[in-house]
Amino acid sequence: MARITAGVGCSHVPAIGVAMDTGITDQPYWKPVFDGFRKSREWMKANKPDVIFLVYNDHCTAFDASCIPTFALGAAAEFQPADEGWGPRPVPVVKNHQKLASHIAQSLVLDEFDMTIMNEMEVDHGLTVPLSVMFGEVAPEEAWPCLVVPLAVNVVQYPAPTGNRCYNLGKAVRRAVESYDEDLDVMIFGTGGMSHQLQYKRAGLINPEWDNAFLDRLTSDPVGLSRMPHVEYLREAGSEGVEMVMWHVMRGALEDDVVEVHRHYHVPASNTAVGHIILENKSYHDGRMIAAE
Ligand code: DHB
Ligand code: FE
């Protein structure tokens, strides 16, 4: 049986990818951003999953106003890094676990979560930057250390799905993974955020108190947190802060009891508050502790 081991929450700021791709991560502006991911990269090596189920948002790259799927599941064999204006990022092609993706598609739809199925899709910084920060630099001719099943969530064109819908989708993702008949360790990423607004009068908005309360409540009050209305994201975390609804898919897919093993928060990276958390499922964490004794 496949199982979900842990969840990762992580920002996706495009400039973080540029800093890695141009080799300037040691510069004073960037060093504190990347120092906070040092432990995460060690943890990824020690807990390497077979597959990452990666919840992210597309930024008018694969989709535009002509087609706005709320939830789009990647079923293609592979996903090329997209050209977002300066050429594709120099990172490997993202390879899917197609059989698992097909199983999840079937399980979700029969569980009444209707997915758009993507048999062709390029992926932008929303997906590749979280992989880069968690794995470190990987040359384009190499391979990412594990397979990736992408789930794109619309948070760009109103209406985005509610946090509650995302949380319940996470529960359905867990049922789908746990009904897959192959021993696989699956990690789930919820990406985007934290507070940021890229446009108009409040451009540059950052709200560290709100962000840190959000990180606290992922462990202490995930259900209450998932019921937060959209208007609170817009008011407190800025117009792009609504990307945070994607973290509820991650949290919903985990057990009720989780152990926070790492947290990193840094302002600013470009216009955004970088937030990052690693939550291990309690059963996985306890198994790890016993094995280490
Ligand atoms: C920035 C942040 C984002 O989430 C994004 O999609 C694009 C840009 C930024 O801070 O520059
Ligand atoms: Fe974004």
pLDDT, one tens digit per residue, over 195-220 is 999 999 999 999 999 999 999 999 99
Does the pLDDT at position 129 exceed 90?
yes
| Pocket of ligand 1 contains residue 240 by CB under 6 Å | yes
Q: Is the pLDDT of residue 21 over 90?
A: yes
Catalytic, 266? Answer no
How many CA within 13 A on the CB side of residue 287?
A: 9
15 lines ligand 1 (CB under 6 A): yes
Report whether residue 14 contacts ligand 1, using a CB cutoff of 6 Å. Answer: yes
Mean pLDDT of 32-59: 98
171: three-class secondary structure by DSSP: helix
Q: Could you tell me the distance, in angstroms and rounded to a whole number, from the CA of residue 246 to the centre of ligand 2?
A: 11
CA-based nearest residue to 73, from 173, 184, 178? 173
Ligand index nearest the alpha carbon of residue 267: 1
Distance from the CA of 119 to the center of ligand 2, in angstroms? 23
248-292 pLDDT tens trace: 999 999 999 999 999 999 999 999 999 999 999 999 999 999 999
Work out which ligand 1 atom sits closest to the CA atom of 240: 4
Give me the chain's average pLDDT, please.
98
- Concerning whether 125 is annotated as a catalytic residue, the answer is yes
In a mutational test of the pocket of ligand 1, which residue from 196, 205, 243 has the highest number of ligand atoms less than 8 Å from its CB?
196
Would you say residue 113 has pLDDT above 90? yes
Q: Which of 198, 205, 239 to mutate to test the pocket of ligand 1 (most atoms within 8 A of CB)?
A: 198
- Atom number, ligand 1, closest to the C-alpha of residue 125: 6
Q: Which ligand is nearest to the CA of 13?
A: 1
Here the ipTM equals 0.98
Nearest to 71 by CA among 100, 112, 124, 13: 112
At residue 242, the pLDDT reads 98
DSSP H stretches of helix in 84-207: 98-110, 125-135, 163-178
Coil vs helix vs strand at 216: helix
Catalytically annotated residue among 12, 97, 103, 196: 196
- How would residue 79 be classed by pLDDT, with cut points 50, 70 and 90? very high
Query: Hey, whose CA ends up nearest to atom 3 of ligand 1?
Result: 13
Q: In the predicted model, is pLDDT for residue 293 greater than 90?
A: no
| pTM score, whole prediction | 0.98
Q: How confident is the model at residue 133, as a pLDDT? A: 98
Query: What percentage of the chain reaches a pLDDT higher than 70?
Result: 100
Share of the chain above pLDDT 90, in %: 99
What strands lie across the sheet with 3-10, from one edge to the other? 116-118, 71-74, 147-153, 51-56, 185-191, 3-10, 272-281, 258-269
Distance 154 CA to ligand 2 centre (A): 11
Average pLDDT over residues 89-112: 98
Q: Which ligand is closest to the CA of 14, given by its number?
A: 1
Q: Which atom of ligand 1 is nearest to the CA of 11?
A: 4
